[in-house]
Amino acid sequence: MARTRLYLVRHGEQDPASDHAPTGGLSPLGREQADRLGRRLGTVPFTAVHHSRLTRATQTADIVAGHLPRVPRHACDYVVDRTPVPSPGQLSAYPDRWHAWFDGVPADERDEDAVALRAAVEHFGVVGEKDRDELLVTHNFVIGWFVRHVLDAPVWQWMSLNQAHCAITVVQWSDDRPPALISFNDTGHL
């Protein structure tokens, strides 16, 4: 029986001087976090590393890749920084206290009704003929969405999950059981 195991990692800490701009790179601490992450994951038999195109995620993946020299890596549109925002007809599925917060989500991060994030789960959450381990270097809300999906939690639950920089969350799909959360926000290597 085959399985797919996804290692979901939030990028390293962004340089505060960048004021959280999309082009902002890693801080010195973020580079150290990425190096520690790479050392921790160096023995995992990854088939691929997928990373967001944003500078902080690309730099994290580059540093981690130094510990995974034979693993192919590439920028991947499925793991870009997205915020699942409800359409007006779906707003009632979210707690009232968060409704106003959605107005501040930047246009380039908005993923109405999580259409793109649902596609990401569908793309990565498949089981092939043999075991597969893949690393996704991404962003907090993307990881929250995957965890919410695996736990079959309410649609808004991604908002209550916070991932530390370079922490490891592992989710797994098997051909003989529902998806499972293996670990969440593991920071033991940091």
Chain segment 53-111, per-residue pLDDT in tens: 999 999 999 999 999 999 999 999 999 999 999 999 999 999 999 999 999 999 989 99
- Predicted TM-score (pTM) of the model is 0.95
Domain map of the chain by residue range? 6-169
- For residue range 11-57, list pLDDT tens digits in order: 999 988 776 677 789 999 999 999 999 999 999 999 999 999 999 99
Q: If we measure between CA atoms, which residue out of 25, 59, 65 comes closest to residue 44?
A: 65
Q: If we measure between CA atoms, which residue out of 48, 56, 100 comes closest to residue 74?
A: 48
Q: If we measure between CA atoms, which residue out of 148, 14, 25, 171 comes closest to residue 94?
A: 148
Contact yes or no for 78/45 (Cβ under 8 A): no
Q: Which alpha helices (H) appear in the chain, and where do they start and end?
A: 28-41, 55-65, 115-124, 140-151
Write down the pLDDT at residue 18.
73
Q: How many CB atoms lie within 10 A of CB 152?
A: 9
Q: How many CB atoms lie within 10 A of CB 126?
A: 11
Which residue type occupies 166? C
Indicate the class that CATH gives domain 6-169. alpha beta
